[in-house]
Amino acid sequence: MIDFHAIAPELILAATAVLVLVVDLYTDRKVVSSYISIAGALATAAALATLVGERRETFGGSFVLDNYALLFKALFLGALLLVLLMSKRYIDKGGYYQGEFYFLLLSSFVGMLLMPSSRDLLMLFISLEIVSATGFILAGLRKGDARSNEGSLKFLLIGVLSTAVMLFGMSLVYGLAGSIKLAEIATAVPALTGPDRSLMVMSMFLIITGFAFKVSAAPFHFWAPDTYEGSPVPVAAFLSVASKAAGFAGLLLVTFIAFADLADAWAPAFGFLAAFTMLMGNVIALAQTSMVRLLAYSSVAQAGYMLVPFAAGASDPASRNEAFSAVLVYLLLYGITNLGAFAVVTLIAQRQPSNLIADYRGLGQRSPGLAIAMSVFLLSLAGIPPLAGFYAKLVVFRSVLGTGDPWLLALALFMALMTVVALFYYLSIVLRMWQTEAPEGAGELRIPVPYGLAIGLSTLGVFLLGVLPGLLVQLAPASSLIAGR
């Protein structure tokens, strides 16, 4: 029997997506789509609130609602509301097909809500493809822009390739384990020996490769800068936070549940992947002149930081749970910070569509409030205390330093070095906003209400969770209990 209460958030959001598309066909007032979308997101959040503290299963255990899923779903709905707020005026005035935009955006978030509740390979694959397929179209929504076409095509081609690799790996896992359920795969893996175990390790890495594309880990990251730059700015924000978080939600389930017994194989690989991702993201970001491309490479580097705790996966169960919790905390704090930064970029892009870093010269003179908010977001991404980004990096350092392994200590040292490198390009933008003269003829920037709300909520979150991280940390350990299963 289907537990409709457990899947109520997904049903409400899916119904909202269909309603937006239908209403858009019969009304000329395109602004209605944004209001329906916001109302649907709030209704979905209300439905999710009724499930707090419960654990439910449906579809034969393929869909599970627990603390882990609830935490991710709350993150996705928060991200959806912020993206909708920053999209309203941008999409209204940009000549985009609004009904299609909001339908695709809401549909993508349906896939995201399904992802953390998925407990078998088929559900994981379907959830990921809902997110990816809609993302391909959203990235190419600026059809008259060659950069948008190029970015969307790269996203599509590399996405299809990674999907094929992942699906091949899943089919091999099913053949070896005799099941697609994550818990049953975890039970079957320890019994494999010889060539079968080696084949399972190879299959596991094929699946991880597919998720590595989604989280834009190097060397699977090269679609991200062009795709972010060519997309409408709110879509770039969505890809950099919500889409990445969906990939990490699936990656955590695959590694810490299905292949927990193979941690000796995947943990060192994640260590090298994290180091290479941090290196590529931070070093290339130093040379960027476009704000969106800089945030794209910054997003790649942030993915590297989030991959660091995976390297501690082969440690004892206590360290493994702490690593699991560190990824959750970092994702949540990064999401709030990065969405705030993109809200500022979206607002400035309406005045200066080139999205150059030079456009931020003298922003402190033209709009002090906006410059303060952007400075907060950039310094939080850099890890400056007492902002949220500092605590996010602290929990990652703690997750690897607590193991005592020499190679993990070396990885932590490399992460510290990369954090210093990142400080250069974040700080250069902050100095440009406050210590340079505004371009001649540049007027004061007014902040419309939707942007003010998105930026204000993000700024408050960055400060509040930086000063009082216990508000969030109390939730993450409860969710991390799933890692011990």
The helix (H) or strand (E) run that includes residue 65 is: strand 63-65
364/91: higher pLDDT: 364
Q: Is residue 142 part of a domain?
A: no
CA dihedral 241, 348, 368, 357 (to 10 degrees): 80
Residue 31 has pLDDT above 80, yes or no: no
pTM, whole model, 2 decimals? 0.91
Q: Rounded mean pLDDT of 405-430?
A: 93
- Assess if residue 478 is contained within a domain: yes
Is residue 247 in some structural domain? no
Give the integer Cα–Cα distance in Å for 449 and 436: 28
For residue 485, the model assigns a pLDDT of 45
**Residue 144 forms part of a structural domain:** no
pLDDT at 483 over 50: no
Q: What is the pLDDT of residues 290-345, one digit of tens each?
A: 999 999 999 999 999 999 999 887 666 777 778 888 888 898 899 999 999 999 99
Predicted confidence (pLDDT) at residue 106 exceeds the cutoff of 60? yes
Residue 300: inside a domain, yes or no? yes
Question: Averaged over 468-476, what is the pLDDT?
Answer: 67
Mean pLDDT is lowest, of 36-40, 74-78, 219-223, 478-482, for: 478-482
Q: What is the DSSP string of 303-314?
A: HHHHHGGGGGTT
The verdict on residue 334 lying in a domain is yes
Q: What is the distance between the alpha carbons of residues 157 and 160, in angstroms, rounded to a whole number?
A: 5
Which H or E element spans position 408?
helix 406-435
Confidence bin at 484 (pLDDT 50/70/90): very low
Mean pLDDT score across all residues of the chain: 87
Is the pLDDT at 218 greater than 50, yes or no? Answer: yes
- C-alpha span between 387 and 337 (Å, rounded): 9
In a domain, 471, yes or no: yes
Summarize pLDDT for 145-200 with one digit per residue, the tens. Answer: 788 888 889 889 888 888 899 999 999 999 999 999 999 999 999 999 889 999 99
Residue numbers of the domain that contains 286: 259-485
Q: Long-range contact list for 147-156, CB < 8 A, 24+ apart?
A: 147/226, 147/229, 147/230, 148/230, 148/231, 149/230, 150/226, 150/230, 151/223, 151/226, 151/227, 151/228, 151/229, 151/230, 151/231, 152/227, 152/230, 152/231, 154/222, 154/223, 154/226, 154/227, 155/223, 155/227
Inter-residue contact 258 to 182 (CB < 8 Å): yes
Give phi and psi for 75, each to the nearest 5. -60, -45
Distance CA 21, CA 30 (A): 11
State pLDDT tens for residues 259-289. 988 988 998 999 999 999 999 999 999 999 9
- The percentage of residues in the chain with a pLDDT greater than 90, rounded to a whole number, is 48
pLDDT of residue 18: 94
Which of 132, 108, 110, 118 minimizes the C-alpha distance to 68? 118
Give the per-residue pLDDT at 125.
92
Mean pLDDT within 9-16:
96
**Confidence grade of residue 41 (pLDDT, cut at 50, 70, 90):** very high
* Dihedral pair phi/psi, residue 64, rounded to 5°: -125, 130
Count of residues making up the chain:
485
CA distance 444 to 447: 10
Least Cα distance to 305 among 424, 430, 391 occurs for 391
Average of pLDDT values for 81-100?
79
| Residue (of 56, 66, 73, 67) closest to 3 by Cα position | 56
* The total number of structural domains that make up the chain: 1
Q: Indicate whether 49 belongs to any domain.
A: no
pLDDT category of residue 111 using cuts at 50, 70 and 90? very high
Q: What is the dihedral of CA 196, 407, 479, 17, to 10 degrees?
A: -80
Q: Is 358 helix (H, G, I), strand (E, B) or coil?
A: helix
